[in-house]
Structure 1
Amino acid sequence: MPFAFHYAARSDVGMVRSNNEDSGYAGPRLLAMADGMGGHAGGDVASSTVIASLVELDDDAISGREVSQALLDRIHAANTELGDQIRHDSSLDGMGTTLIALLRSHDKVVLAHIGDSRAFLVREGQVTQITKDHSFVQNLVDEGRITQQEAQTHPQRSLVTRVLTGDAHDEPDLVVRQGRIGDRYLICSDGLSDYVARDTIDEVLLGVPDPGECADRLVALALRAGAPDNVTVVVGDIVDAGRSTAPSTVPEVVGAAAARRGGTRPIPLTPAAKAAALTKEATGAGDDEPDDRVTLAEEGPRSRRGLALRLAAALVVAGVVLAGGSYAAYAWSQQQYYLAASDGVVSVYRGVDQTLGPVALSSEEYATTIAVDDLPPSYQESLERGIEASDRSDADARVSDLRLQAQACRWSRSNGEICQTVPSSWTQPTATPTPTPSPTATPSASPSPSGSTAPTSATPGRSRTPVTPLPPTTSAPVTS
C-alpha cells in the first residue's frame, strides 16, 4: 500500500522576539524543522541553510537503506556549509541550529535529530515522545541528579550540548521507524514544548483530525501561554496515497526560510524553486530578485534603509540578551563544587561536571593529598561519579571527612582488618528509594592510631539516585 504524508507547517515569531530563527518544511516525503541560535548574527542563516540543503530529498527517488545514508549525507553537507560560512564571515561565529528531519521511504520513516527540538508520534490513541533532548538538563535527568519535573523549570534548561555548528564532529542521532497508516508525527521547537503543557499538546494531537487545524491550534496555544520564543510546528499524518482524496503535494515552508505577511500561513513553493530561494537567502545573495523570492520573516517591505535600521537595533538587543544569558549560565555553574578523583588523589572542582561542545564547565580548584586507594570502596565509587558540594566551605568539610575515612581505612588494613567507614558529618546515599537516610549501624570499637578507640560503621550501600550525598545526619564528627 503506497504511503504519503498529509502535512502542515506553521511558525510564529512569538511574543517577545523581533526575528524568527526557526525554519520549517513539510512536503510529501519530508518533514523538517530547525531552531537556529545566534540571534541576527546567524540563527536564521543557520536554520535556513540546513533546511535548504534537505529539501531536494523531497524529490529524489530514494529507497531501501540508501534513504538513511542520503539523509545523513545531506545533513553533513549542510553542516559543512555552516562551517564555510562562519570561516568567510566572522560575524556568523557562534551560530548553530537544532534539526529534526523525517524522511519517508515506502513504509519506513527515517528520523534524524540533534539538539533540544522534539518529535512526537501519535499511534493508536497514544502520544509518545520519540526524541531525547541533547541538553545539559537532560544529562542531569539521565544521571538521576534531577527529576523530569524539575527539568521543566530548571534555570539552565536552554543549554544544549549537541547542535549543528559547522564542526566536523557534530553528529545527529539517526533511527529508522516502521510507518503505519494513521500515524501522526509532530516536530516542534521549544517555543511550543517549553510553554504548553504536555497533556495539552497530547489532547490537541488526538482531538484535531486535520493537520493544518492541529498546527494552527498548537501555535495559538503557545502564543496564549505568552511564549517569548519562536514557535514552529510541523504535523504530518501517514495516509494511503491511493485514496480518492489525495493530500496536497505542494510543499510548505515557514519561519526564517519563508516570507509571511501576518499569521502563520506559509507561502507554498515548488521544491526546486524553494531550494534555490533558500540558498540565496542563506548566503545573502539575490537582493535584486523579484518580489516572489523567499525572504526572512522579519524583513517586511524591502526598504534597504529601513531594513538596515531595524537590523542594527535588533543586533544590539540580541547581543545584550545573548551575552546576558550566557553569562548567567556560566555564573551559575561557577557557584557549584564537587569532589572527584584525579591522578589517584581526591581533588576539588569548581563548576559542574559537564561540557558544552569544546567548553568545560569546571576547573580544578585544588588537589588534596588523600589517596583514592586509601578510601573505602563505597567512597571510591562515589568519587568516580562525583561528590557534589553546596559551596566551597561544604567542599572543604567533605575533604576533611574523606581524610578521616582514609586514615581509619589505612589503620584497619594495617591491622589485617576489612576497611570500614566511620561516622561523619555527612552520609553517603543509601539504597532506599526515599530521600530519608537509613540508620547508621551501631559503631564497634577498634584501636586508633593514637591508641584511643575509633568507632566504625557498616559500609553504606550504593544509591539508586545520583552521586549527591544525603543531607548531614545528626552524628557528631569523630575526634581523635
Structure 2
Amino acid sequence: MTLTFSYAARSDVGLLRNVNQDSGYAGPHLLVLADGMGGPAGGDVASSLAIAHLAPLDGDSHGGDMLALIREAVAQAHTELRERAQTDPELAGLGTTLIAALRSGKRLALAHIGDSRAYLVRDGVVSRLTVDHTYVQHLVDLGQLTEEEAESHSHRSVILRVLGDHDFGVELDESLRELSAGDRFLLCSDGVSSYVSAETIAQTLIEITDPGECADKLVDYALRAGGPDNITAVVADVVELDDLPDGAAPSTVPQVVGAAADHWKQPTRSSDSPAARAAALTPPKPEDLAAQAERSADEEEAELDRRTRSRRRRWAWALSLTAVLLLLAGAGWAGYRWTQTQYYVAPSGDYVAIYQGIPQSIGPVKLGQPYRTTNILVDDLPDFAQDRLANSITPGDGSLEGAEGIVESLREQVPTPTPTPSPSGTASPVPGATPDPSSSTAPSPTTPGDATRPTDPSATS
C-alpha cells in the first residue's frame, strides 16, 4: 500500500489587516503553517522565513529521524530570525507560530509551537492534535479556567512560546503517528480557529470531500465572522495510490500561500540558503507543467491583483518608516501622539508597570515610558510570566483598559502572603512592599511625554 497526500493551501489577508503575516505550505511530503508577528515590517518576514527553512524537507521520503530533521530546520530558522532582529531595528520583536507535518511512507512527524492548530479526521471523528501555548491555556491546565471560558477570554492571544521571539532555545511539542488511508489533516492559523466554531470546523472537514473546496469554505466562514485577522488553512488527505481512478494522480507541485508566496524563493543568507534550496524542490511532472500553462484568465487576473497588493504593502511600509523619521525630526507630532494612546505591560525596576507608548526604540529614543507602577514584584511571578514580561506584554487593542486587565491577570498568579498580626491587631505590611499607585490614596499619575502574530508576540498570531 502506497500512501500520499492530496492537498490544498488557502490564505486571505482578512477584512481589517493591510498585510498578510500568515504563510502556508502544502506539498507531497510536507505541510507547514506559520502565523507571523512583529508589526508590518516583521511578521510576514518571520513566517515566510520559517517556510523557507522547512521547504527543502519536501523531497523524497525520509527514512531517518523525521523529528530530528524538523528540529534542525526550526533551529536554523530561529537563529536567523534572532540575527535579523538584532541587525535590523525594524524587525525587533519579530516571531512566528509554527506547525510542521513531515510524511514518510505510513508515518507522520508533527512539531508545533504557538497557538496555530492542527486537527485530524479519522473514521468520521475530528480530534485536535495540538495544545495552544497561550496564557489562558496555562490557566485551563491549572484548573482556573474552563475550555469555554478560555475561548472568549480577553487575553486568549497572549502567547507564551513562539519561534524567534527570544534568545533561548526552541521548545517544540513533538509527536509521531501512523497514517491510514482516509485520514484528513487541517493546519490553520488562529484567524480560523478563533472565529469559526469548533463544531463548524468539524462539520466542514467531514462534509466537504475536496481539500481545496474544504479550505476555501473555512476561509469563507472566517470572513463571514468579520475576518479581523489573517486567515490561513492547509488541508491534506491521505490517499492510497492504488485506489485512485485510472490515470489520476495527486499533484506533486507545492502550494505556497500568504506572505511566503512573495518571500519563500528569495535568498536568506546566500544562494545556498534554505530559501534558495526550497526553490529547487522536486521538479514538477510534465502534466503538472501543462496544467500550469493552461491557467484560466481568472487565475491570471488574481495573480496580477496579488502583485498589485504586494506593491501597495511595500509602499505602505516605506510611508510608515518616513513617518517615524519625521517624528524624530519634530515634524511627526501626530504620529507621536498616536503612540501615546497605546499601552503595554513590562518591568520597571523590581515591579510590574504599565507603560504608555509602544515597546520600541529608535536609536536612543524610547517610544514607551512608565505610566503607572504596581506593587506586584516581578520575582513573585511564575517563571513563564516573568519570561513573557521581559519582552513586554501588549494588549490586542493597545488600550489602557487592556493593559490593566493584563496586570490583574498577573496579580492572580502571585501567591497571597499570610498576614502577620501587629500588636494593635491589624496586619503588618509586607516588608519591602510599596503602595499600589492604583489605590485611592495614591497620587494621580503624571502622563509622560505588530506588535501588536505583532504586533508584539503577546498579541494575535
Q: Normalization by structure 2: what TM-score?
A: 0.64
1:52 is aligned to 52
Match for residue 246 of structure 1 among 241, 249, 274:
249
Q: What aligned pairs does 1:196-275 form with structure 2 within 5 A after superposition?
A: 196-242=196-242, 243-244=244-245, 245-259=248-262, 275=275
Deviations 1:371-411 (A, max 9, x none): xxxxxxxxxxxxxxxx997799x968x63689999x9xxxx
Against the structure 1 CA distance between its residues 323 and 129, is the aligned structure 2 distance closer, same or farther, given a 3 Å change threshold? farther
1:74 aligns with 2:82: no
Q: Percent identity?
A: 44
Alignment of 1:300 onto 2:320: no
Alpha-carbon distance between aligned partners in 2 of 1:142 and 1:42, rounded to the nearest angstrom: 31
Once residues 149 and 302 of structure 1 are traced to their aligned partners in structure 2, the CA distance between those partners, rounded to angstroms, is: 38
* 8 Å Cα contact 1:43-1:96 kept in structure 2: yes
Deviation of the 1:52 alpha carbon: 0.7
How far has the Cα of 1:353 moved from its partner? 3.9
Q: Deviation per CA, 1:133-164, whole angstroms, max 9, x where unpaired? A: 01111101101111111111111111111110
5 Å-filtered alignment, 1:445-460, equals: none
Match of 1:121 in 2: 120
Residues 353 and 361, structure 1, Cα contact 8 Å, conserved in 2: no
Determine the structure 2 residue equivalent to 1:463. Answer: none
Are the counterparts in 2 of residues 156 and 329 from structure 1 also a CA contact under 8 Å?
no
Q: Which amino acid aligns with 1:256?
A: A
Q: CA deviation at 1:320?
A: 10
Map Cα deviations across residues 323-358 of structure 1 (whole Å, 9 max, x no partner). Answer: 977617999x869xxxxxxxxxxx975786463573
Residue 188 of structure 2: aligned partner: 188
Farther-moved stretch of structure 1 (182-191 vs 71-80) = 71-80
Structure 2 counterpart of 1:311 = 317
Q: Mean Cα displacement is larger for which, 251-260 or 306-315?
A: 306-315
> Contact 2:53 / 2:274 at 8 angstroms: preserved in 1?
no
Of 95-104 and 159-168, deviating more is: 159-168
CA contact (8 A) 1:80 1:168 kept: no
Q: Distance in 2 between matches of 1:211 and 1:402?
A: 70
Partner of 1:32: 32
Which secondary structure does the structure 2 equivalent of 1:94 belong to?
Answer: coil
Query: Following superposition of structure 1 onto structure 2, how do residues 392-407 of structure 1 map, counting pairs within 5 Å?
Result: 399=419
Cα distance in 1 for partners of 2:209, 2:262 equals 27
Instruction: Give per-residue Cα distances to partners, 1:13-58, cap 9 Å, x unaligned.
Output: 0110000000000000101010000122310000000101111111
- Contact 1:161 1:357 (8 Å CA) reproduced: no
Map of 2:163 onto structure 1:
164
Residue of structure 1 in register with 2:43 after alignment: 43
Could you tell me which runs of 5 or more consecutive residues in structure 1 were left unpaired when the two chains were aligned.
Answer: 261-266, 280-291, 336-346, 363-386, 408-480
> SS where residue 239 of structure 1 aligns?
strand
1:86-105 correspondence runs (5 A): 86-105=85-104
| CA spacing shift, 1:7–1:147, aligned 2, 3 Å | same
Are the structure 2 counterparts of residues 219 and 321 from structure 1 closer, same or farther at C-alpha, using a change threshold of 3 Å? farther
Instruction: Assess, with a 3 A threshold, how the Cα gap between structure 1 residues 181 and 155 changes in structure 2: closer, same or farther.
Output: same
Q: Which runs of 5+ in 2 are unaligned?
A: 266-271, 280-299, 325-334, 355-374, 392-408, 428-461
The match for 1:151 is 150
Relative to structure 1, the CA distance from residue 214 to residue 348 in structure 2 (aligned partners, 3 Å threshold; closer, same or farther) is closer
Structure 2 distance, partners of 1:148, 1:160, is 16
Q: Secondary structure at the match of 2:119?
A: strand
Amino acid at match of 2:45: V
Evaluate the alpha carbon distance shift between residue 74 and residue 309 of structure 1 in structure 2; reply closer, same or farther with a 3 A threshold: closer
Alignment map for 1:316-327 (pairs within 5 Å): 327=344
Match of 1:358 among 387, 391, 401: 387
Aligned to 2:109: 110
Question: SS of the counterpart of 2:157?
Answer: coil
* SS class of match (1:48): helix
Instruction: Tell me the amino acid that sits aligned with residue 87 of structure 2.
Output: H
RCO higher in 1 or 2 (8 Å CA, sep ≥ 6)? Answer: 2
**Residue in 2 that maps onto 1:383:** none
Whether contact under 8 Å (1:259, 1:297) holds in the other structure is: no
Q: Cα 1:72–1:349, aligned 2, differ >3 Å: closer, same or farther?
A: same
Contact 1:160–1:356 (8 Å) recurs in 2: no
1:139 matched to 2:138? The reply is yes
CA distance in 2 between partners of 1:67 and 1:210 (Å): 28
Per-residue deviation, residues 157-216 of structure 1 (Å, max 9, x unmatched): 111111101634122111101111100000000000000111011110010000000000
For 2:51 and 2:96, the matched residues in 1 are separated by: 10
The answer as to whether partners of 1:152 and 1:194 remain within 8 angstroms in 2 is yes
Change (3 A) 1:323 1:249: farther
- Amino acid aligned to 1:66: D
* Count of aligned pairs between the two proteins: 342
The whole-number CA distance in structure 2 between the counterparts of 1:40 and 1:252 is: 24
Q: Alpha-carbon deviations, 1:35-90, whole Å to 9, x = none?
A: 00012231000000010111111114411x42221111111111111122222212
Distance 1:170 1:359, change over 3 A: same
User: Structure 1 residues 70, 146: CA separation in 2 closer, same or farther (over 3 Å shift)?
Assistant: same
**What are the Cα deviations for residues 212-241 of structure 1, in whole angstroms up to 9, with x where unaligned?**
000000000000000210000000110013
CA contact 2:103–2:109 (8 Å) conserved in 1: yes
**DSSP-derived class of the 1:5 partner:** strand
Matched, 1:62 2:65: no
SS of equivalent residue, structure 1 residue 399: coil
Of 313-322 and 50-59, deviating more is 313-322
Q: Which runs of structure 2 are paired with 1:369-384 in the superposition (5 Å)? A: none
Per-residue Cα deviation, 1:247-298 (whole angstroms, up to 9, x for no partner): 11111000001159xxxxxx9xxxx99943978xxxxxxxxxxxx9xx9997
Change (3 A) 1:41 1:238: same
The 2-side partners of 1:69 and 1:5 are apart by: 22
What is the letter of the counterpart of residue 93 of structure 1? A
Q: What is the rounded CA distance, in whole Å, between the counterparts of 1:98 and 1:322 in structure 2?
A: 26
When residues 85 and 391 of structure 1 are mapped into structure 2, their CA distance, relative to the original with a 3 A threshold, is: closer
1:134–1:319 CA distance, 2 compared to 1 (3 A):
farther
Amino acid aligned to 2:73: R
Q: Kindly indicate whether the alpha-carbon contact (under 8 Å) linking 1:20 and 1:230 is maintained by their aligned counterparts in 2.
A: yes
The 8 Å contact of residues 120 and 129 in structure 1, kept in 2 or not, is answered as: yes
